[in-house]
Amino acid sequence: MTTVQEHAPNPAAGDPGRPIGYGRIQRKEDPRFVRGKGNYLDDIVLPGMLHGAVLRAPVAHARLVSIDTTEALAHPRVLAVITGKDLQALNLAWAPTLSADVQAVLVTDKVRFQGQEVAFVVAEDRYAARDALELIDVEYDVLPPVIDARRALDPDAPVIRDDIEGRTDNRIFDWEMGDAAETEAVFAAADVVVSQEVVYPRVHPAPMETCGAVADFDPVDGRLTLYETTQAPHAHRTLYAMVAGIPEHKIRVVSPDIGGGFGNKVGIYPGYVLAVVGSIVTGRPVKWVEDRSENLMSTSFARDYIMQGEIAATKEGKILAVRTSVLADHGAFNATAQPTKNPAGFFSIFTGSYDLKAAYCKVRGVYTNKAPGGVAYACSFRVTEAVYLVERMVDILARKLEMDPAELRLKNFIRPEQFPYANKTGWVYDSGNYEPAMRLSMQMAGYDELRREQLEKRERGELMGIGVAFFTETVGAGPRKHFDIVGLGMADGAELRVHPTGKAVVRISVQSQGQGHETTFAQIVAEELGIPPESIDVVHGDTDQTPFGLGTYGSRSTPVSGGAVALVARKVREKAKFIAAAMLEARPEDLEWEKGRWFVKGDPGAGKTIAEIALGAHGTMALPEGIDGNLDAEVTYDPPNLTFPFGAYICVVDVDAGTGAVKVRRFIAVDDCGTRINPMIIEGQVHGGLTDGVGMALMQIIAFDEDGNCLSGSFMDYLIPTAMEVPDWETGYTVTPSPHHPIGAKGIGESATVGSPPAIVNAIVDALAPYGVTHMDMPCTPARVWEAMQGRHGPPV
């Protein structure tokens, strides 16, 4: 059971008398999912379809000596075996990444991480394809690997990327934001300075559906239809056109129903390209679907940041400045999916929710012999790492100052009158009202009572912890002038058609991986046009059917496409006014809008509904000058700024002092995502993100041994929390609309993933205070908690 606190007034939700528009309605897509009628990638079967399988490297770093495919090719059901050499001949052995690097599609020279793609078999069925992998004979010359990012720049470290001319070390980038000198001056003059190394371990989003593709290249007309598990079909199509040389108008990318993305499905994986090559080579459709181990070992991981944090304050608890130096492990190729100008994503928002005098961060990215990636797992382009760092540092400061952590936060929030607020690292927070959210979470938690209970328990030797975290999210990129991915501006399109009977279809450039787009976007159109959501179909995920746009990630669907959809509906509404005026023989300026209908001012009986207007537009009447015969419109929306959702989270844990086992007893989440469209969908997003947070805080890590073997390649070793590890979520909300978004919405998809890990870790560290523990790194497994109680601080495992 879940507690929902409807504390805040919200004009846009919760009114049962409200006939259309926003509100808690059931999801339009769910009937097909709950009846098993979804159409996921692996459900797609095309006539004559073949199956591909990838041979992967068993070692982390090795020179490729030879590949012998003779036996595999002799398998009676095998049609093709593709190697790096074959791709070199097609100029496809290397492909550009989303971070201005290149990545091997198949190994040509050297294996750079365990699980890297070495060869691709195409066979009549998936069994034969798998069997044939064992018939490929590969000889490797094993090299010493670079596994620990801290050793990546040692003078004697092997150079991983010797494919890049002139490269002599494993450095990828050094990047800084903020004023170093100003920050140093503030630190030098501060009463109190605390510092702490904070590690956010490598984790993996592990979507329920793994990645896959079905490629269908038609050799007659040169047309490629590519079904993919992708969060960005349009961007993919453009990239395939640029890389593979297939003209863009001959490529159709379809993202069918997707079983979870979380950033794992933003980039282009070698398997997708190999399916395309397989289809070109064989002239038949080729399906490739990775298994769970392949997903965990080779696709985009998340985090892997080693952060040296510092925070400066007055002795009264006024926070003055934060500073950090970060070592970022990007794996063997820099393939993070992030805006071009932000090699560390949005990490520089690590100033959090606080009004500071100064801030400075520098981030160094390095190569290691591990799988590439880094931006995934609902991280908002690394706001996750930023929030985790500042929220841990604030807690450590509270301990140092012997202040209550909630009180310290309340004392330092950016005040409502300071918005729009320009922070010290170049961000302009659009809006915020932090104190009411913090106070609401404390009220829901019964904060003072919890602190009393904790005192009593401590006297009995029982370990109970209360963790507080406050976060400000940064979501909804563009604007396009600031944010692009490989040169493609981060804007989104929407097309709306109202059919003659008043039913509508809206085509959007983002697509759902489970977020509920078919409901949310119908609700936005419903609100703007005054027709019910069930009369509006949402088309998404097919580049032949939808306008160009950058895709769903970084919680950008509602902030960007939601804006586009509201604006396109308003455009249709405006056009409807002119048609209605003609129908009513009135002047447009004499018409007034009420939900679903234009009518003559002062004569409410004389009006036309959207359905009547649509029929008029498609009928035989003479239309006004300049109005064509439809009720359609299209827009591309370039948001003027990001949006900045926020939230106050409180976690209560009990720690078994004898075993170190942590039980998350309660979790209170107050979120503010601006205008709320469908509260049920918002709660679903929050519940999922909080569960992810429990996973990261308590049990998840993609670990490696010193040889570079991935130790987390299955769900036996990479743990996903179950219902048994999570409490009944207690959610509440406040509403602070975005001032620049057409409907004031801000995005909610990643808030809980960003905000929950620090709340949980803060609670655990709070519980361990009697043992003198001031920090521990995730995952807080029983063994690691026990070690922290012994005063030991081992590297995350």
Partner 1 sequence: MQIPAAFDYERASDVANALALLERHGPESRVIAGGHSLLPMMKLRLARPDWLIDINGLTELDFILREGDQLRVGALTRHTALLESADVAGLFPIIRDAERVIADPVVRNRGTIGGSLCQADPAEDLSTVCDVLRALTVIRGPAGQRTVPMADFHQGPYETAVAQNELLCEIRFPIRPRSGSAYEKVERRVGDWAVVAAGAAVALSADGTVDDAAIGLTAVGLDGTVPEAEAVLQGRQPHEDLFAEAGRIAAAACDPVADRRGPVDYKRHLVEELTRRVLRRACARAAGAGQG
148 forms part of the interface with partner 1 (CB under 8 A): no
Q: In whole angstroms, how close is the CB of 199 to partner 1 at the nearest point?
A: 16
DSSP, collapsed to helix, strand or coil, labels residue 363 as strand
169 forms part of the interface with partner 1 (CB under 8 A): no
Q: In whole angstroms, how close is the CB of 392 to partner 1 at the nearest point?
A: 22
142 forms part of the interface with partner 1 (CB under 8 A): no
Among 124, 148, 184, 291, binds partner 1 (CB under 8 A): 291
* β-bridge partners, 655: 463, 662
Q: Sort strands 301-313 and 78-83 into parallel, antiparallel or unpaired.
A: unpaired
CB 686 within 8 A of CB 729: yes
Of 252, 643, 675, 647, the closest CA to residue 483 belongs to 643
* β-bridge partners, 672: 646
Q: Which is nearer to partner 1, 28 or 287 (CB)?
A: 287
213 DSSP assignment = E
Which of the ranges 104-112, 423-431, 655-663, 727-735 carries the binding residues for partner 1, by CB under 8 A?
Answer: 655-663
717 forms part of the interface with partner 1 (CB under 8 A): yes
Residue spans of alpha helices (H) in 177-232? 180-189
719 forms part of the interface with partner 1 (CB under 8 A): yes
Q: In whole angstroms, how close is the CB of 275 to partner 1 at the nearest point?
A: 15
- Pairwise CA distance, residues 82 & 277, whole Å: 9
797 forms part of the interface with partner 1 (CB under 8 A): yes
Among 659, 706, 770, 795, binds partner 1 (CB under 8 A): 659
Site string for partner 1, 720-739 (x = CB under 8 A): -xx-xx--------------
Q: In whole angstroms, how close is the CB of 419 to partner 1 at the nearest point?
A: 41
Among 2, 601, 783, 795, binds partner 1 (CB under 8 A): 783
Q: In whole angstroms, how close is the CB of 328 to partner 1 at the nearest point?
A: 24
70 forms part of the interface with partner 1 (CB under 8 A): no
Cβ atoms within 10 A of the Cβ of 131, count? 17
Among 17, 76, 605, 658, binds partner 1 (CB under 8 A): 658
Q: How many CA atoms lie within 13 A of 473 on its CB side?
A: 31
663 forms part of the interface with partner 1 (CB under 8 A): no
295 forms part of the interface with partner 1 (CB under 8 A): no
Cβ atoms within 10 A of the Cβ of 98, count? 23
Among 26, 70, 74, 127, binds partner 1 (CB under 8 A): 127
Which of the ranges 200-208, 342-350, 607-615, 717-725 carries the binding residues for partner 1, by CB under 8 A?
Answer: 717-725
Of 302, 360, 301, 364, the closest CA to residue 327 belongs to 364
664 forms part of the interface with partner 1 (CB under 8 A): no
Which of the ranges 289-297, 470-478, 514-522, 769-777 carries the binding residues for partner 1, by CB under 8 A?
Answer: 289-297
**What's the residue count for the chain?**
797
462 forms part of the interface with partner 1 (CB under 8 A): no
699 forms part of the interface with partner 1 (CB under 8 A): yes
Torsion of CA 403, 409, 414, 416, to 10 degrees: -110
CB 633 within 8 A of CB 575: yes
Which of the ranges 244-252, 595-603, 640-648, 658-666 carries the binding residues for partner 1, by CB under 8 A?
Answer: 658-666
- Pairwise CA distance, residues 239 & 486, whole Å: 9
Torsion of CA 62, 202, 516, 6, to 10 degrees: 180
Q: Which residues contact 345 (CB under 8 A, 6 or more apart)?
A: 336, 338, 339, 375, 379, 380, 381, 382, 383
* β-bridge partners, 119: 55, 83
208 forms part of the interface with partner 1 (CB under 8 A): no
For residue 687, the Cα-to-chain-centroid distance in whole angstroms is: 15
Q: Which is nearer to partner 1, 130 or 357 (CB)?
A: 130
The Cα-based distances of 287 to 261, 275, 671, 787 in angstroms read 19, 6, 41, 47
Q: In whole angstroms, how close is the CB of 130 to partner 1 at the nearest point?
A: 4
Of 575, 730, 560, the closest CA to residue 648 belongs to 730
781 forms part of the interface with partner 1 (CB under 8 A): yes
Q: In whole angstroms, how close is the CB of 794 to partner 1 at the nearest point?
A: 8
- Pairwise CA distance, residues 102 & 477, whole Å: 24
Per the listing, tokens 């929950």 go with 756
Among 33, 173, 548, 786, binds partner 1 (CB under 8 A): 786
Q: In whole angstroms, how close is the CB of 645 to partner 1 at the nearest point?
A: 30
Amino acid at 476: G
Site string for partner 1, 14-53 (x = CB under 8 A): ----------------------------x-----------
Among 7, 292, 411, 499, binds partner 1 (CB under 8 A): 292
Of 243, 255, 245, the closest CA to residue 222 belongs to 245
711 forms part of the interface with partner 1 (CB under 8 A): yes
Q: In whole angstroms, how close is the CB of 260 to partner 1 at the nearest point?
A: 17
Q: Angle formed by the axes of helices 517-529 and 563-584, to 10°?
A: 30
782 forms part of the interface with partner 1 (CB under 8 A): yes
74 forms part of the interface with partner 1 (CB under 8 A): no
Of 585, 240, 647, the closest CA to residue 437 belongs to 647
Of 715, 707, 718, the closest CA to residue 113 belongs to 707
Q: In whole angstroms, how close is the CB of 126 to partner 1 at the nearest point?
A: 6
Total of chain residues touching partner 1, rule CB under 8 A:
33
131 forms part of the interface with partner 1 (CB under 8 A): yes
Which of the ranges 126-134, 136-144, 534-542, 611-619 carries the binding residues for partner 1, by CB under 8 A?
Answer: 126-134
Q: In whole angstroms, how close is the CB of 662 to partner 1 at the nearest point?
A: 10
Of 527, 486, 576, 586, the closest CA to residue 266 belongs to 486
Q: Which is nearer to partner 1, 611 or 767 (CB)?
A: 767
Q: Which is nearer to partner 1, 90 or 703 (CB)?
A: 703
Q: Angle formed by the axes of helices 383-401 and 751-767, to 10°?
A: 30
Which of the ranges 223-231, 286-294, 459-467, 493-501 carries the binding residues for partner 1, by CB under 8 A?
Answer: 286-294
9 DSSP assignment = -
- Pairwise CA distance, residues 398 & 317, whole Å: 8
Contact positions toward partner 1, by CB under 8 A? Answer: 42, 126-127, 130-131, 134, 289, 291-293, 658-661, 698-699, 703, 711, 714, 716-717, 719, 721-722, 724-725, 781-783, 786-787, 794, 797
